[in-house]
Structure 1
Amino acid sequence: MVSKPITKTNSPNLVSILKFLIIFAIIDCILQISLGGFVRVSGSGLGCPDWPLCFGKIIPPMNYHTLIEWGHRTSGVILGLTISVITLLAWATQRSNVTLVVLTTFNLILVITVGGIGGAVVLTELEPSLRTLHLFLAQMIILVLGFSLITLLVKSPESLSRNIKLDKYSITMGLAALTIIITLLSGSYAVWKGAGTVCSAWPFCTSESIFPKSSLGWIHMIHRGFSYISVVVGAVACYIVIKAKFNNTIS
């Protein structure tokens, strides 16, 4: 078997740089989402009342709420620049890896969209539906970054297709991940709409009625419903994985 010669486009150093940048982007995106949560709980969503600048400046006056919101935006700028470099490197050095090129290009579009929606969130004074969409797309960026990293870790498209199997394990884990994400998004929307504490009883909204009597009550209970489902699906996924591990151990 003749080995493939190392060229400028498939150099191990370039691949290592791409891997490092993708891992860095994943960490930064997780930090970005965490900072977004801190912006919400600290009431700093309007710490910078304008966009894309903050009080008309790149570096604004640093009071408490402004510093938190500015830090969130700065992390987003770093993420956007990193994903831009990843996309350029993928196009310049990995064009034969069509999956990687498509994923990185899509991710660049995603991060630009998320930034624009973040601006719309500020300009609409924290519209809940836009904030939820903002969070959802940020989570999508992590997902696409993860797939991009996988395409670099596998040796060939054939090995990638061999390792991706649609079986009971992947389906159950996928459903568990999906229900958890929906639970997080619905919970965030409930808090942003002011429905976080509208239901005083458990497991139903009130002790007098099974069904909620207001739109905020329904928002809260829909979130609870997804949380119940995610617990059940997560438990089933854990059972399947533990059972398979146990069977492999004793066989």
Structure 2
Amino acid sequence: MAIFNTVAQRKAGFRLALFSCLVAIVVLAMGVFTRLADAGLGCPDWPTCYGHVLWPTDDHEVARANEAFPDMPVEHDKTWPEMIHRYLASSLGLLTIGLVIFAVRQRKPEQPVKLPLFILAFIILQGMFGMWTVTLKLWPQVVTSHLLGGFTTLSLLWLLTLRLNNQHWQVPAISETKLQALKPLVLLGLVVVICQIALGGWTTANYADIACPDFPQCQGAWLPPMNFSEGFNIAQHIGPNYLGGTMDNAARVAIHFSHRVGAMVTAAYLLFLFFKLRQLGMAPANKAASVMLIILVVQIALGISNIAFSFPIGVAVAHNLVGAFLLLSQVTISYLVFTAAVNRGGVRV
């Protein structure tokens, strides 16, 4: 079973949706890089950058920008990532508008229209979160929501691509019972991965990545001092500048430690799901399970490498991107399981 269906079997708009997914991956990568490079406030205003469409470049412009924002002087290594990320995100919005127009003009009973409209509305909301990230000075709740919004946007675009691809599993009748039993399991796998991504977002939003600089222990202990009540206090006040974080060490350790435990739970459950998929006895299901397992192994290796090599930004960005691919694998498996057709002697049910 090929990854993509034949041209004749695809629905209208497939290529545009697939291209939008690729752009969404670039936007996500650039957003992660901006965050990890501490460039989230590289431009203290929104939507401009120190009042510029791009960013201040010559000495005169920089002097005026520093005068206007004395508490946030211009740092060129932080202005350009922020603005490039904004423009890439805007281009994704334009592509989604194209998807909506395409869906409406090509409207047929089997052509998705509601999903492109929902994606467009969600991207508008995501743009608002991007603005609040700056105006609320990296408030962790907003930063985490913005990150989750990026993953959600990519997942929705990929779901649209799958629907337009119009490819479904053909499950033999003998495996129907196993298929029905698999449906809640794959949904739970999707939820588990989402929760782990949310934990990762909360970790980076509160600068807890380096709270445990050693592995497998944390600060030389299996159970270091931790403050979960402060680490997961979502009632933090709006107002301080959260650049660099405001939590104490015990709170950040609690967040990082929870992310590690979440990684073990996620790995264990996805390994369980791997074997359940293989029990269907279908080559396409085996392939999907194998792809999921490969992504999981790479993600674990990147997580350990982050710590072993003292969190190099390249590895950290890759860790986020592979996390996105792990989420897409769950979206794909869920879609294929729930749209599978049971073949009863040549009759699709």
TM-score, normalised with respect to structure 2: 0.58
Residue 233 in structure 1 maps to residue 246 in structure 2: no
Residue 117 in structure 1 maps to residue 112 in structure 2: no
Q: CA deviation at 1:113?
A: 0.3
Instruction: Tell me the distance in 2 between the aligned counterparts of 1:48 and 1:57.
Output: 10
The list of structure 1 runs, each at least 4 consecutive aligned residues, that deviate by more than 6 angstroms after superposition, is 246-249
Q: CA deviation at 1:225?
A: 2.4
Check the 8 A contact 2:28/2:150 in 1, yes or no. yes
- Greater relative contact order: 1 or 2 (C-alpha under 8 angstroms, separation 6 or more)? 2
Check the 8 A contact 1:25/1:83 in 2, yes or no. yes
Q: CA deviation at 1:170?
A: 4.5
- Helix, strand or coil at the partner of 1:197: helix
Q: 2:165 aligns with which of 153, 157, 162?
A: 153
Residue 197 in structure 1 maps to residue 210 in structure 2: yes
Instruction: Tell me the distance in 2 between the aligned counterparts of 1:245 and 1:29.
Output: 34
Instruction: Tell me the distance in 2 between the aligned counterparts of 1:30 and 1:150.
Output: 16
Deviates more, 1:78-87 or 1:172-181: 172-181
Higher helix share: 1
Deviates more, 1:129-138 or 1:216-225: 216-225
Q: Please give the per-residue CA displacement for 1:142-169, whole angstroms capped at 9, x wherever unaligned.
A: 22222222332338xxx89x9xx96344
Instruction: Tell me the distance in 2 between the aligned counterparts of 1:70 and 1:201.
Output: 36
Q: 1:53 aligns with which of 48, 52, 60?
A: 48
Instruction: Tell me the distance in 2 between the aligned counterparts of 1:51 and 1:119.
Output: 6
TM-score, normalised with respect to structure 1: 0.78
In the alignment, what sits opposite 2:345?
Answer: none
Structure 2 CA distance for partners of 1:143 and 1:69, relative to 1, 3 Å:
same
Check the 8 A contact 1:50/1:56 in 2, yes or no. yes
In the alignment, what sits opposite 1:141?
Answer: 153
Q: CA deviation at 1:111?
A: 0.3
Q: CA deviation at 1:59?
A: 2.3
- Helix, strand or coil at the partner of 1:126: coil
Q: Which runs of 5+ in 2 are unaligned?
A: 1-7, 58-75, 172-177, 228-249, 287-349
Q: 1:21 aligns with which of 16, 19, 35?
A: 16
Residue 72 in structure 1 maps to residue 85 in structure 2: yes
Aligned length: 232
In the alignment, what sits opposite 2:221?
Answer: 207
Deviates more, 1:179-188 or 1:22-31: 179-188
Identity over the aligned pairs, expressed in percent? 22
Q: 2:114 aligns with which of 102, 108, 115?
A: 102
Deviates more, 1:182-191 or 1:206-215: 206-215
Instruction: Tell me the distance in 2 between the aligned counterparts of 1:218 and 1:114.
Output: 28
In the alignment, what sits opposite 1:175?
Answer: 188
- Helix, strand or coil at the partner of 1:167: helix
